Structure 1
Amino acid sequence: MARTPSNMLALGTIAPDFYLPDTNSSEWKSLNDVKGNHGTVVLFICNHCPFVLHVIEEIVRIANDYRVQGIGFVAVSSNDAIAYPDDAPDKMTEFAYQNKFSFPYLYDETQEMAKNYNAACTPDFYLFDAQNKLVYRGQLDDSRPQNGISISGSDLRNAIDSLLYKRSINPIQKPSIGCNIKWKNSL
């Protein structure tokens, strides 16, 4: 199990736009389609990563808790689906259904979105404010597979609460740790 940290995109970065297929609805989605009135969480995940599987229930809970408060959510898989067939779009559809996703699950076949967001691992979390400025990036919480720490979502929840209630968000943020994104071989 690889332990790759987030690259920690600079705070204040404007969310790069995208236009990708949603495996959860068979529609194409842009940033504008998924953003919330008060902010947007963009998360890079995949179907097979043990770090994602460890926290997926909490991710879905957080999305359900905050969507009603004007926070948009979108998940993205950028893994090479040829080398990792468990991450193919049809498997993404199944994964979203099994985990009761209430948000889009986009397939980044070209990996351009992952590169534009400087994503490095799964899961990798980004919170943008209503003006699409990055205010938080990093971990969900301190829990990891087999480390004995309960899953709480505290880091992401605290950042979203701070955004919603107009409190300052601590700029000292811990990177997420997970499996590396499975990049395509470039020849």
Structure 2
Amino acid sequence: MALTPSNKLSKGTKAPNFTLPNVVTGNAVSLEEIKGKKGTVVLFICNHCPFVIHINPLLVALANEYQAKGIGFVAISSNDVENYPQDAPDLMKIHAEENNYSFPYLYDETQQVAKEYDAACTPDVYVFDKELKLYYHGQLDNSRPGNGIPSTGNNIKSILENLGQAKLYLGEEKPSVGCGIKWK
């Protein structure tokens, strides 16, 4: 597993629109449909990455707390399923159900959405404001598998609180790190 950091994306960048299949329901879901009144979190994740597995409970807790506060959540998997069959849509569905995802888990078969977001790793975390302009792009917190730091989400919680209160976030943006997206 090669440690890959997220790419830099300028604040204010407009979220690229997408319509992708939700692996749980089978229905197509667009960014417009899932965006929150106060903001939207777009996560690039996958089933097998130890960095994602490490934060799954935190992702679920964050989504459950902040969806109720007007912030939409969506997760997208863009991995090449020919070479990484554990990330195939049927297994994504099982993964979402076993982890109690309260947010859509979408499959980016062509990898076009990941390219438009310049996503690099799993997890790759993007937070957009109510106008779908980039508010934050970086890590959830300092916890990593095996480093002994608990996954609290303190970084992202303060960001989501500021976003919910329509305050600017002027703090540091540390890149997310994880497994590189498995490109075709």
How many angstroms does 1:171 deviate by? 4.8
- Which residue in the other structure is 2:47 paired with? 47
Secondary structure of residue in 2 paired with 1:162: helix
Q: Deviations over 1:50-73 (max 9, x none)?
A: 000001000000000000110000
In 2, Cα distance between equivalents of 1:120 and 1:171: 22
Paired residues for 1:1-187 under 5 Å:
1-184=1-184
- Name the amino acid aligned to 2:23: T
- 1:109, distance to aligned residue in structure 2 (A): 0.3
1:116 shift after superposition: 0.4
- How far is the alpha carbon of 1:167 from its aligned partner? 2.4
2:164 & 2:179 partners in 1: Cα distance? 30
- Where in structure 1 are there 5+ consecutive unaligned residues? none
3-state secondary structure, aligned to 1:126? strand
Distance 2:171 2:82 in 1: 38
- The normalised TM-score by structure 1 is 0.97
Amino acid at match of 2:95: F
Letter in 1 for 2:77: S
Q: What SS class does the counterpart of residue 54 from structure 2 fall into?
A: helix
Runs of 4+ aligned structure 1 residues displaced above 2 Å come to none
Q: Distance in 1 between matches of 2:180 and 2:12?
A: 24
CA distance in 1, matches of 2:168, 2:9: 18
Q: 1:178, 1:31 → 2: CA distance?
A: 24
Q: TM-score, normalised by structure 2?
A: 0.98
Counterpart-to-counterpart distance in 2, 1:170 and 1:150: 24
Report the residue type matching 1:146 in the other structure. G
**Cα separation, 2, equivalents of 1:166 and 1:35:** 16
The Cα shift of 1:166 comes to 2.5
Could you say what the CA RMSD is over the residues aligned between the two structures, in angstroms? Answer: 0.8
Deviation at 1:79, TM superposition (A): 0.1
Residue 86 of structure 2 aligns with an amino acid whose one-letter code is D
| Identity %, equivalent residues | 55
How far is the alpha carbon of 1:10 from its aligned partner? 1.2
